[in-house]
Structures are given as structure tokens and as C-alpha cells.
Amino acid sequence: MVAVDLLGQAEHGPTSPAALITTSEALARETLVEIEKQLLTLPTADVAGAAWRDYGTVLVVDSKEEAVREADRLAYEHVEVLTEDPDYFLGNMKNYGALFLGPETNVTYGDKAIGTNHTLPTKGAARYTDGLW
């Protein structure tokens, strides 16, 4: 699921960033393997593969506090949090365009089913501007 969601962001364009921030080195390694596997059959692999190669990031951190710091530093337009403690991230994250908490709220569901057109801050702009508008 993590690999699918990362590639779902990467396929938006060849310069689209996607990042995994995790406290699990095993999850990081498994996700990298799964991304390569999915790129073999993904219809948008040419774009998603280029974006992942040039703008994909995997960060293994020591704590959820460090995960929040790194996510706020990146300030991505879409942030999906898969954790046992989603309320911690809701209460502590500041720099994002749209925040999706839990596996049933992935970006594809939320972004495509939200029902309205929207503009989200890109290229780190969430550090100094509001999110969904």
C-alpha cells in the first residue's frame, strides 16, 4: 500500500516528489523492493519511475517526533500518515497542504473523492501558506 501511494504521487509528473518517512528500516527496504516491482507493470511507469528516481525519498527516523520534524521540513502538499497514533500527527504537524490519517484515508480516496476543485501548496510552500483552499 505504501508503494502504491508513493507511486500515485510520483505519476503526477516527472518532477513530482514523493517521500516515505518511517521508523522502520524493514518497511523502508520492503517498500523500495515493492516500488521496483510495481514499476515493471505500472501503466504510468515512465513518468512515475523518473519522478521516483529523481525526486523520491526514503527517510528512516528514530521517533515520531523526528518524523514530524522531517515532514514539516518537506512541507508536501499531500501527507498520508499510517501509524498507530494518528492523533499525535494531527496535533503536531504544521506544514502540509492536505493531511490524510489512516489507511482508509489515503490520498487517492481523499483527493479524488473530495468533490471540489482545490489548490494545494507545492514545492514546500506549506511552510508559509495555508493548506487546502
Task: Give me the active site residues, please.
Answer: 77-78
CB atoms within 10 A of CB 22: 17
Which residue has cell 509528473?
13
Q: Helices 45-55 & 2-10, crossing angle to 10 degrees?
A: 100
Which grid coordinates belong to 94?
A: 504544521
Task: Give the CA dihedral 97, 30, 50, 132, nearest 10 degrees.
Answer: -10
Polymer length of the chain: 133
- CA–CA distance, 51 with 110 (Å, rounded to integer): 22
